[in-house]
Amino acid sequence: MSVELLENERLDELHRNGYFIIQNPQKFCFGMDAVLLSGFARVKHEETVLDLGTGTGIIPILLEARTEGAHFTGLEIQPESADMARRSVCYNHLEDKINIEIGNIKDASHQFGASSFHVVATNPPYMTGQHGLTNQNEAKAIARHEILCSLEDVIRESAKILKPQGRFYMVHRPFRLAEIMAVMHQYGIEPKRMQLVYPFVDKEPNMVLLEGLRGGNPRITVEKPLIVYKEPGVYTDEIYDIYGY
């Protein structure tokens, strides 16, 4: 199918199933965090998945390539990003497996209904108003800073949307880990699995991958650290495997 690229857009290869994604580097491009989340999340046969704040659709597309899930939905508040995501879905002939919806995470449970998905995934804005410098580009600022939704909004709506015993997957920053776990517990999503991501083996972690279970019992498994680079510019074997190189 022929899909039009708009001004400043490009088509990037994903190294999975021959899929590509449309991006505009002047707006926002997906990062390693989204790819690592797609490798960390577990989606079983015939399960349905909702990605909150899908951006250009990278997580639904990668999860469709990597898992046996039945259907994937991406929710995005920015129409331009949602349009790119929809065109990427069409380019990859995934219209029967993925749909992109425009909407606000704060109202997601009203939009989709309670207990409507087996899995919720999210790569939310990491920074509060007090952390980091707000990017002058509105699209990038919305993706990186809690301008339109908060961490509590994401977790509260996920708890409503998930089916009982449904799973929640999120990538975030370790400096907010105590807050994240407290809010998950507050809304009945029990942290069950965690993996810290380190840029180099001798550096501090800069990402954390989390799995939660709606209505789960208290017990968490901490997986072995994921190291990104074995030397400057050279990924570890684990990272190459996640990327599909």
Q: Is residue 5 in a domain? A: no
Q: Is residue 4 in a domain? A: no
Q: Is residue 93 in a domain? A: yes
| DSSP letter string, 222-236 | EPPPEE-EEETTEE-
The DSSP call for residue 148 is: S
Hey, which residues does 75 pair with through a beta bridge? 52, 101
Predicted confidence (pLDDT) per residue in 22-38, tens digit: 999 988 889 999 999 99
Q: What percent of the chain has pLDDT over 90?
A: 85
d(CA 188, CA 175): 22
The DSSP call for residue 134 is: P
Q: Is residue 33 in a domain? A: yes
Q: Is residue 3 in a domain? A: no
So what's the pLDDT on residue 63?
98
User: Could you tell me whether strands 10-13 and 20-23 are parallel, antiparallel, or unpaired per DSSP bridges?
Assistant: antiparallel
> Which of 58-62, 95-99, 240-244 shows the lowest mean pLDDT across its residues?
240-244
- Two structure tokens written together for 53: 């704040």
d(CA 141, CA 126): 11
Q: Is residue 199 in a domain? A: yes
How many domains is the chain partitioned into structurally?
1
The parent domain of residue 19 ranges over: 10-243
Predicted confidence (pLDDT) per residue in 93-139, tens digit: 999 999 999 999 999 999 999 999 999 999 997 656 544 444 455 55
Predicted confidence (pLDDT) per residue in 178-197, tens digit: 999 999 999 999 999 999 99
Contact 68, 44 (CB under 8 A): yes
pLDDT above 90 for 79:
yes
Q: Is residue 62 in a domain? A: yes
Hey, which residues does 207 pair with through a beta bridge? 197
Q: How confident is the model at residue 145 (pLDDT cuts 50, 70, 90)?
A: very low
Count the neighbouring beta carbons within 10 Å of the beta carbon of residue 195: 20
User: Could you tell me whether strands 221-222 and 189-198 are parallel, antiparallel, or unpaired per DSSP bridges?
Assistant: parallel
Q: What is the mean pLDDT of the chain?
A: 91
The alpha helices in the chain, defined as continuous H runs, are 32-40, 58-66, 79-91, 108-112, 138-144, 151-161, 177-186, 237-243
Q: Is residue 198 in a domain? A: yes
So what's the pLDDT on residue 1?
56
Could you report how far apart the first and last alpha carbons of the chain are, in Å? 26
Looking up residue 51, the CATH number of its domain turns out to be 3.40.50.150
Q: Give which of 243, 169, 232 is closest to 12, Cα–Cα.
A: 243
